[in-house]
A and B are shown apart, each in its own frame.
Chain A
C-alpha cells in the first residue's frame, strides 16, 4: 500500500558492513550527541520557582467574575454544569434577600458553587455556556497539587475573584472570544 506520510521504510534484511560491525564509530557518535546536550541551553525550568509563560488562551483555573459594581455575576442557571462533559460542577441556588442586593447581580444567586478540579478536564465549555459571563478559565494559574482529594473541590471561597478585573483582561480575546464579540459585534447585550 502507498504510504500516506511518505516516510514509510521497508525493512530489509541486509548484511552489516565491517565498519558497522565494529560498533565503536556508532558509540562515539552517540556519546557526541549526549555531550552536546550537556553544554547546551537547558530545555526544562525549575518549577515552581520558575514558571513558564502561559499562552494567551491557555485554559487554567476557573474564576467566578464580579461585575463593575462588585456584584457576583453568576445566577446559578446551571448551564455550565449542564455543558460540563466531566460533570465537575455542582451548585445550589438561593434567592437574594433585600439586604444582599449589592452582592449579587440577579435575584437568584449561587449559594454553593463547587468545581471538582480532579474531574475537570479544563475544556472551557463552562465558559462558553455561561450566559452571564460569570465563569472564565484564567490563563495565569493552574489547579495546584494537593495531598487530600477533598481539597480539590473548589468552592466559592476559592473561585470568586477577590478583586474585580474587567472581563477583557482575563484572556486575550481572539476573534471568537466573547470580548471580541461584544466589543466589535456592536450588538446590544440583552442581559
Chain B
C-alpha cells in the first residue's frame, strides 16, 4: 500500500505540447497548466463546482483516445468536461475542424445577443468580446427577431440585463455554493430560458455581488458603476483591507482620485482569486479604506492597457566613478570608447 502513495501521472499531448498530469484532470485544466493554446471557456469556472459543459466554446478534437485505445473520439468534445487518459492526443487550434466548430458556437452565442457593446459596462473586459474577436465571424446570418428583456434590478446593487445573458449558469452556481440561500436561478427552458430571481426578489446575501465578477458578459453588472466610465479610462490597483468576512484582497478601479469600482482580483483566466463580500465591493469606496499594494498587471492584449505603462526593463546602471583622477582605469576605458 505504501508504494501507491506516489501517484501515477498520465501524459497528455495538446497541440504538440506534452504534459504529465494526475488522473482526473480535465483537458482544459491540462491546457491551462501548459499555458499555451488554451481553449476558451465561457461557462467553466474552476472555483465553481459543477460548472462547465454548457457553452461548448471549449470544444477540442481528440485525435487519439489513449495509448491503450488509440482511436480518435468520433466527435469534438468539451474540454472542460473531458478528463484526460494516458497517452491522449488533443488538438485545439491546430485542428481546422475545431476552429470551424468554435466559430459556429460563437455565432450561436450571439444569436440573441444585442451587441450593444458601446453601451455595455462590461465592454473591454467581456469574454464574449474576446471570443468573438478571436474566433467569431464578421457578419451575422441571423434574420429573426432577437429576444429582448427589460432590465431588472436585483437588489440595490446588481442589475440584470437578461438580453446579454449567454446562460452559462455561473451565477447560479455562485449563488448555490458561495451564498447560503439561493434565491435566483434559471426559469423556463430552451429558447425561453432566463435568469431570474423569483418575482424579482432581491438577492439579500453578503456575497451576492460575486455574481457580477463571474458573469462572463455584461448581463450582471454593478449598479454603482453603471455608466461611470469605460473601463479603459480607469486605472486598476491591487488593494487589501482587514475584512472579517472575506479575504479583503481586491482590485480598485480609479478614475482620477476617485474609486469608482471595487472588484475581486482576477487571474489570467479571468477567474476571481477569491470571492469578496458586499461590504468591500459596494461600500468601501474611499482610498482611506484600503492599503494599496501596487498597480494591477494588465495584459498588453487588453484594451485596458491602453495608456497604461509598465516598467519593462531594468534601469541602466551608471557606473560610479570612485576617483576623478585622470589615471583612474575607468577614465582610460572611457577614452578608449570615445576613440
Q: Which residues in A have some Cβ–Cβ distance to B below 8 Å? A: 75-79, 81-82, 93-95, 106-108, 131-132, 187-188, 190-191
Which A residue sits closest to B230, measured CB to CB?
A: A78
Q: Tell me which residues across on chain A come within 8 A of B227, comparing CB atoms.
A: 76, 93-95, 108
Name the B residues within 8 Å of A81 (CB-CB): 233
Q: Could you tell me the dominant secondary structure of chain A's interface residues?
A: loop
- Check if A75 sits within 8 Å of B303, measured CB to CB: no
A-B residue pairs, 7 tightest by C-beta? A77-B118, A78-B230, A93-B227, A108-B119, A75-B118, A131-B118, A108-B227
Collect the chain A residues with CB atoms within 8 Å of residue B229's CB.
93
Chain B residues 109-134 with CB under 8 Å of chain A are 115-119, 123
- Does B232 interact with chain A (Cβ within 8 Å)? yes
Task: Assess whether B232 is in contact with A77, with CB atoms less than 8 Å apart.
Answer: no
Which of A95, A106, A188 is close to B118, meaning CB atoms less than 8 Å apart?
A: A106
Q: Which residue of B lies closest to A90 (CB)?
A: B233
Partner of A107, one of B119, B232, B303: B119
User: Min CB distance, A106 to chain B, in Å?
Assistant: 5
Q: Quick one: closest B residue to A94, CB to CB?
A: B227
Nearest B residue to A132 by beta-carbon distance?
B118
Provide the residues of chain A in CB contact with B115, threshold 8 Å.
190-191
B335 beta carbon closer than 8 Å to chain A: no
Nearest opposing residue in chain A for B233, CB measure: A78
Query: Is B325 engaged at the interface, CB distance under 8 Å to the other chain?
Result: no
Minimum CB–CB distance for B116 against chain A, Å: 8
Tell me whether B140 is interfacial, beta carbon within 8 Å: yes
Does residue B47 face the partner (Cβ distance < 8 Å to A)?
no
B119 CB to closest chain A CB (Å) equals: 5
* Chain A hits for B139, CB < 8 A: 187
B152 within 8 A of A: no
Residues of chain B at the chain A interface (Cβ within 8 Å): 115-119, 123, 139-140, 226-230, 232-233, 303, 306
| Option from A77, A107, A132, A187 in Cβ contact (under 8 Å) with B230 | A77
Pair A75/B233 contact, Cβ less than 8 Å: no
Q: Which residues of B contact A79 (CB under 8 A)?
A: 118
In the bound complex, how far is the Cα of B142 from the Cα of A187, in angstroms? 12
Q: Which residue of A lies closest to B303 (CB)?
A: A82
For this complex, 11 residue pairs linking A to B, each with C-beta atoms less than 8 Å apart, are A77-B123, A78-B232, A78-B233, A93-B227, A93-B228, A95-B227, A106-B118, A108-B227, A132-B118, A190-B115, A191-B118
Q: Chain A nearest CB: distance from B306 CB in Å? A: 6
Least Cβ–Cβ distance between B138 and chain A, in angstroms: 9
B119 and A75 contacting across the interface, CB-CB below 8 Å: yes
Beta-carbon nearest neighbor of B116 in chain A: A106
For A106, list chain B residues within 8 Å (CB): 116, 118-119
Q: Which of A94, A188, A190 has the most CB of B within 10 A?
A: A190
Cα-based distance from A190 to B146 in the complex (angstroms): 11
Residues of B within 8 A of A82 (CB): 230, 232, 303, 306
Complex Cα spacing A107 to B159, Å: 14
A75, closest chain B residue (CB): B118
A106 to B227, CA, bound (A): 12
Q: Give chain A residues whose Cβ lies under 8 Å from the Cβ of B119.
A: 75, 77, 106-108
Residue in A closest to B115 when the chains form the complex, CB atoms = A190
B118: chain A residues at CB < 8 Å are: 75, 77, 79, 106, 131-132, 191
> Which of B118, B123, B230 has the most chain A CB atoms inside 10 A of its CB?
B118
Query: Shortest Cβ distance from A67 into chain B, in angstroms?
Result: 14
Of B227, B228, B229, B306, most buried by chain A (CB within 10 Å of CB) is: B227
Residue on A with the closest CB to B123?
A77
A190 and B230 contact, CB distance less than 8 A? no
Q: Closest CB-CB distance, A78 to chain B, in whole Å?
A: 4
Contacts of A131 in B (CB 8 A): 117-118
By a CB distance below 8 angstroms, the chain B residues around A95 are: 226-227
Which residues of chain B come closer than 8 Å to A191, judged between CB atoms?
115, 118
B138 to chain A: closest residue by CB? A187
Q: A79-B118, A93-B228 given. 19 additional CB < 8 A pairs? A: A75-B119, A76-B227, A77-B119, A77-B123, A77-B230, A78-B233, A82-B232, A82-B303, A93-B229, A94-B227, A95-B226, A106-B116, A106-B118, A106-B119, A131-B117, A132-B118, A187-B139, A190-B115, A190-B140
